[in-house]
Amino acid sequence: MPFWRKRVRVEPDVLRSLDPYWVVHRTDGFVAATVPEGDEWPCGIWNAETGELVVPCVAACWLQGLDEVLIVTDEYSGNLERRHWPGNEVLEKTEIAHREGWVDHVVAAPTTTLAAVRWIDQTEAGFELFGLEERGVRQLERRGYRTGESNLLQGPVLDPSARLAACTEGRSLWWQENDAEDEAPSPGGMFRAGRLTILDVESGVARHIDLEVELPSGWEPPDDFSREGLLRPPRFVDEQTLVVDLPTGEERSFIL
C-alpha cells in the first residue's frame, strides 16, 4: 500500500499554514498539497475545512473555469488523468513518459489548453508538456525541458496565453565561493543564485537569464528559504511580464 494512504486526515490549521513549497494548487474549499508532518508525508487533494484526504494522488490542479481537475496518480509510473470535479469521474487519461526520476507537480495554463508535469531526479530535473483538448489529454512529444546543471527546479509556470513556460533553476551551494566548503559570501559581493529559464512552447527553444544578487555583510537566508536553491517559482504578471522573487526580498521583473 502506498505510504500516503496510511493517513486520511490532518488538522485544518496545518493545511492553512502550509509553506507554499508544499502546495500545488488551492481552490474553493480544497487544497492539493503534500503535508510534511511526522513520519508520513501524505499527499493529495484535501478538504480545507475538515482536513480530510479526499483524493490520494501525487499532485493535482484545477482547470480554470471548468468543473475539472488534473491528477497525477503515481510518482514513478503513473498517469495524468483529467477528472470531473467534484464528482471525481475519470474523463481521459494518458501515461506520463518522463526521462528520469519521479513526478511531483502539475500545472495548467489559464487557457486550459496546456499543462506541464514536473519531474525530479538526483542531479537533474525537468518538465513534460501536455495538450488539453475537448476533455482529452495527450503528451506533446519532444516539447518538454530538461535542466543541465541542477535538480533545484521551481515551477514551471505557464503564461496566460500558453505560449511560454518558465521556471527557476537554483544553484546548489551557491553561497560557496570557489567551492570552499565553509566560505560565506563576502560583504557586498555579487553571487549567482541560479537562473531563470523561459521555454517557447511551440519551438521548444529555451533561453536562460542568470540571477545575481548582492548580499550585505552578515546576510543569512530567510527562515522560509533553504540554503540550497534560494529561488522560488517565477510569476507571470501578464503575458509580457515575468517576476522572480529573490532571497534578499527583491522582486525582479522581466519584460518578454
pLDDT at 110: 94
Cβ atoms 139, 130 nearer than 8 A: yes
Q: Summarize pLDDT for 112-137 with one digit per residue, the tens.
A: 999 999 999 988 999 999 999 888 99
pLDDT at res. 49: 96
Q: Does position 189 have pLDDT exceeding 80, yes or no? A: no
User: Does position 66 have pLDDT exceeding 80, yes or no?
Assistant: yes
- Which whole number is the average pLDDT over 95-103? 86
Q: Is the peptide bond before 86 cis (omega within 30 degrees of 0)?
A: yes
Report the range out of 23-27, 50-54, 180-184, 246-250 with the highest average pLDDT: 50-54
Residue 217 · residue 188 · CB < 8 Å: yes
The answer for residues whose C-beta is within 8 angstroms of residue 233's C-beta and 6 or more apart is 154, 155, 156, 157, 167, 168
205: confidence class by pLDDT, cuts 50, 70, 90: very high
**Cβ neighbours of residue 21 under 8 Å, at least 6 residues apart?**
none
